[in-house]
Amino acid sequence: MIEYDDGATPLDYDELKGLLPTHITTRGELDFLEMENINQAIIWSENLKTNDILNIEFICNLHKQMFSNVWKWAGKFRKSKKNIGIPYSQIAVELQTLCDDSQAWIEYDTYPPDEFAARFHHRLVFIHPFSNGNGRHARLMADLILEKLFTTEVFSWGGESLESLANHNNARKEYIKALKMADEHDYSLLLEFVRS
């Protein structure tokens, strides 16, 4: 039985069957391949010529760019219940609501850039649209919002990389604590963490 860190999303049997590389035998090998794929996605995102990123198509495409060399289901909504996230039957509607809300936030200048990106990030993690990689995906999405929409500096994420926050460490504990506070509509710790 696989042990999962606090806040990690367990994979069901069908999702595990979606692993593309057949030589993977350890969690470390899987983490390494995912990080290689994520690094390729970061390079891809740096070359984006568009700021049209607040839509479901882009959200799915980014996840696909991040994980398509590792998982068959990369970029596709999950079809199973998870320990976190909304019911999978509501993912498309809730993602569209998030995209519509964020367009309104821009139109009405509702939040400063950091709060906009942090709130978007939190809602995307809360929805948990994919079988795995949701935190890493939502962190990169927040950084792209800052970079592409607001032309400002990306978050420091507690001084950790996108990938290292996926591993069990003190920064991850603080990150999970900040997300849980945001679940209760208190974004203060998350706003502090993303710039620490």
Domain of 51, CATH number, reads: 1.10.3290.10
Q: Which domain holds residue 65?
A: 26-155
Question: Per the domain annotation, does 93 fall within a domain?
Answer: yes
Q: In terms of Cα–Cα distance, which of 185, 180, 118, 107 is closest to 146?
A: 118
Per the structure, the count of domains in the chain is 1
Question: Per the domain annotation, does 124 fall within a domain?
Answer: yes
Q: Report DSSP state, residue 80.
A: S
Q: Give the pLDDT mean for 65-73.
A: 97
Determine what percent of the chain is predicted with pLDDT higher than 70. 95
- Separation in Å, CA 158 to CA 54, 63, 80, 100, 103: 25, 22, 31, 29, 27
Mean pLDDT over the full length of the chain: 93
Question: Per the domain annotation, does 120 fall within a domain?
Answer: yes
Q: Which amino acid is at 190?
A: L
Q: Give the pLDDT mean for 67-84.
A: 96
Question: Per the domain annotation, does 184 fall within a domain?
Answer: no
Question: Please, are residues 111 and 82 in contact by the beta-carbon 8 Å criterion?
Answer: no
Question: Per the domain annotation, does 57 fall within a domain?
Answer: yes
Question: Per the domain annotation, does 149 fall within a domain?
Answer: yes
Tracing tokens 């909504």 back to the chain, one arrives at 77
pTM for the full model? 0.93
Question: Please, are residues 76 and 60 in contact by the beta-carbon 8 Å criterion?
Answer: yes
Question: Per the domain annotation, does 10 fall within a domain?
Answer: no
Per-residue pLDDT band for 9 (boundaries 50, 70, 90) equals: low
Question: Per the domain annotation, does 190 fall within a domain?
Answer: no
Determine what percent of the chain is predicted with pLDDT higher than 90. 80
Q: How far apart are CA 67 and CA 76, in angstroms?
A: 11
